[in-house]
A = this chain, B = another copy of it.
Amino acid sequence: MKAVNLIEKQSGRAFKLNKGNILTVIDPEGQQVSDMVLFNINDLNEKLSSGKSLDFEESILLTKGNFLWSNRSNKMVKIIEDTNGRNDFLLAPCSKETFEIMYKFKGYHPSCLENLHKNLKPFGILIDDIPTAFNIFMNVQFDENGKITVLPPTSKAGDYIQFEAQMDLLVCLTSCSAEDSNGGSFKTIQYVVESKHL
């Protein structure tokens, strides 16, 4: 039996993922985004790098067959399955300032950055140390002039992406809190961790 873990809407979860283990991130209802950050659990100064991932994979969009790389140029995970096929590193995790500056929202608004921080804080990670996240299922469109538009995800209920850990990792995932990235619906995300030989 595979244990399916639930990330409630507008929240996050951090957990260990051993080298060789398989992480499956599922969009159970469709049209939801999950921000993912990765750290080397044995040295938290080594972490996910958007720049290094784009460098070595030579692509803005990353899917099955691509690796995600660290700031020290090491492979962190390999994407071994991706039923939706749209993920990127372009935009930062939404934060309270995203809502204040881009949406003129006043007052408290949950955000991916807050949820990443809340779950990573027990491991000693400061908010300033959270890298640009891998935006799973996020539908960021760009034209030849580089103009960016965020559209609702194309993911359907049950779509998933699967990662094979290339080192022992600390993973943090969110169920995105931003109206813009999930078409105004706030939904859950699910994940499953399996050891290599199951």
Stretch at the interface among A86-94, A165-173, A182-190: A86-94
A128 and B101 CA atoms in complex are apart in Å by 29
The answer to whether A101 touches B88, judged by C-beta atoms less than 8 angstroms apart, is: no
Stretch at the interface among A6-14, A18-26, A144-152, A155-163: A144-152
The answer to whether B59 touches A92, judged by C-beta atoms less than 8 angstroms apart, is: no
Whether A32 sits at the interface, judged by CB under 8 Å, is: no
The answer to whether B128 touches A45, judged by C-beta atoms less than 8 angstroms apart, is: yes
The answer to whether A55 touches B91, judged by C-beta atoms less than 8 angstroms apart, is: yes
Residues of B within 8 A of A132 (CB): 49-51, 132
The answer to whether B97 touches A51, judged by C-beta atoms less than 8 angstroms apart, is: no
Residues of B within 8 A of A59 (CB): 145-148
Residues of B within 8 A of A49 (CB): 92, 132
The answer to whether B56 touches A148, judged by C-beta atoms less than 8 angstroms apart, is: no
The answer to whether B61 touches A146, judged by C-beta atoms less than 8 angstroms apart, is: yes
The answer to whether A90 touches B147, judged by C-beta atoms less than 8 angstroms apart, is: no
Residues of B within 8 A of A194 (CB): none
Whether A119 sits at the interface, judged by CB under 8 Å, is: no
Give the interface of A toward B (CB within 8 A): 45-47, 49-52, 54-56, 58-61, 71-73, 88-93, 95, 97-98, 101-102, 126, 128, 132-133, 142, 144-149
Name 9 A/B residue pairs within 8 A (Cβ), A-sorted. Answer: A47-B128, A51-B92, A51-B93, A54-B92, A59-B146, A59-B148, A73-B98, A142-B142, A144-B144
